[in-house]
Each structure stands twice: as structure tokens, then as C-alpha cells.
Amino acid sequence: MATGTLGLDSSLREYLLRVSVDETEAQRQLRAETASLPNAVMQISPEQGQFMRLLVELTGASRAIEVGTFTGYSALSVALALPADGRLVACDISEEYTRIGQKYWQQAGVSERIDLRIGPAIESLDQLLDDGEAANFDFAFIDADKPNYRAYYERCLELLRPGGLLAVDNVLWGGSVANPDDERPETAAIRALNDHIRQDERVSQSLVPIGDGVMLARKH
Ligand code: CA
């Protein structure tokens, strides 16, 4: 589901990858290592990694937040696009998975740019707010446990500067957001956040159907 793009057949996806994705060696190896793990579908697709690199460049971001790092492919993509003195605060609960990423962050020469915080992300984000970091970030990516999406969204929005960009992953949830019979809590939480963003006057938004769907919200 997340390792490709919904609704693209394999030959068209092959073409898209060929003409638009240039992965670094570290990204390629990290993706290969992650593919062998039982939770491999949690990794974003290479076309989405490419897209996020471009988003970071477009926003001129130097300070970024990630909620949900897993094995570190998205963090690596973001960090590659940050300036040398840029910083990504990466939040995750798993030492085991993030350790895989750290190896490749090192290999890519961007580990200095990544400030990994292990623990419940709500606590890490609240800590940033307590440290006076509100409105100090340019870019945020949310890709963690879905029932907490709204809580992550509210905190990230506070941490973003006006004009900052928020990207929320898996907002199409394999297509199940459009299936009224799907009442799983994850699906309900994603639907609720999508609906909330649609009417949230603090942001302008666009849902981009890349990967498993990425909601972009720009803070006014
Ligand atoms: Ca995801």
C-alpha cells in the first residue's frame, strides 16, 4: 500500500519512477533493508520520498519535524534536502527500527541534521512547545499511529511558522476512507482529520494522491 502509489498500474509506476526519482545510494540500501521487515509497508514509497525532498526545497525549510520515523527513509529524504545547518526533529517510539535508519543517515552524511527523539510523540512535541519552539519550524511530516493524528496535527500546526507546510501521510488509507463500511478506528481518525483540515481556516490544503495519499496543509 504505502510502498507504491494507489491506483497506478505497474508499468505506469515503473515509468514514473524512471523519469522522476533519483534516489541516493543510502536511500536505495535503506529501502532494500526495510523491505525485508515484517512491517515493510510502513515505509514510504521512493516517489513520495522524492516528492518530500522537493517540498523541503520549495519551502526553503531549514527546521523540520517528523512524527513517526520507522526505519528512517522519510527522515533521510527530508534531511538530504535540508541545508547543511538544517535540523530535523524526528520522533518515534522504536529504538529498534530507528537504529536501522541511523546507519544510513550516517552513510549519507546527514546524521548531524537529525535530532532523533525516542518516546511518545505527543510528549516530544509538547516538550518542543514548552521549550518555546512554537512557530519555529518550516516543515512537518506526520506518519505515525492514526488515532493520534488530530493530536499530532494540532501540535505541529503550533510548531510551524506562518507559511510553513504540514504533510500528513496515509490520508487515503489504502482507499478505505471512501468505504462507508470501514469503521476501524484508524480509518475513522483519518477521515476525521481530513474533514477537519478541509474546514480549518488556519490552513489551505490539497490532498495529493501519491503513495497512500498525502494531505498538504499550509499554515496561514
Ligand atoms: Ca505512512
Q: What is the pLDDT of residues 30-88, one digit of tens each?
A: 999 999 999 999 999 999 999 999 999 999 999 999 999 999 999 999 999 999 999 99
Distance of CA 213 from the midpoint of ligand 1 (Å): 9
pLDDT of 92 reads 98
Q: Is the pLDDT of residue 1 over 50?
A: no
Distance of CA 212 from the midpoint of ligand 1 (Å): 7
Q: Please tell me whether the overall predicted TM-score, pTM, comes out greater than 0.95 for this model.
A: yes
Q: Is the pLDDT of residue 2 over 60?
A: no
Distance of CA 170 from the midpoint of ligand 1 (Å): 5
What tens digit of pLDDT does each residue of 93-108 get? 999 999 999 999 999 9
Distance of CA 105 from the midpoint of ligand 1 (Å): 19
Cell numbers 533521510 label which residue? 76
**Protein residues placing their CB within 5 Å of the ion ligand 1:** 2, 143, 169-170
61 φ/ψ sector (left φ>0, alpha ψ -120 to 50, else beta)? beta
Distance of CA 146 from the midpoint of ligand 1 (Å): 10
What tens digit of pLDDT does each residue of 98-145 get? 999 999 999 999 999 999 999 999 999 999 999 999 999 999 999 999
**CB within 8 Å of 168: residues ≥ 6 apart:** 141, 142, 143, 149, 153, 193, 197, 214, 215, 217
Residues forming beta bridges with residue 90, ordered by sequence position:
66, 116
Band (pLDDT 50/70/90 cuts) for residue 3 is confident
Walk me through the domains of the chain, giving residue ranges and CATH numbers. 22-36+44-219 (3.40.50.150)
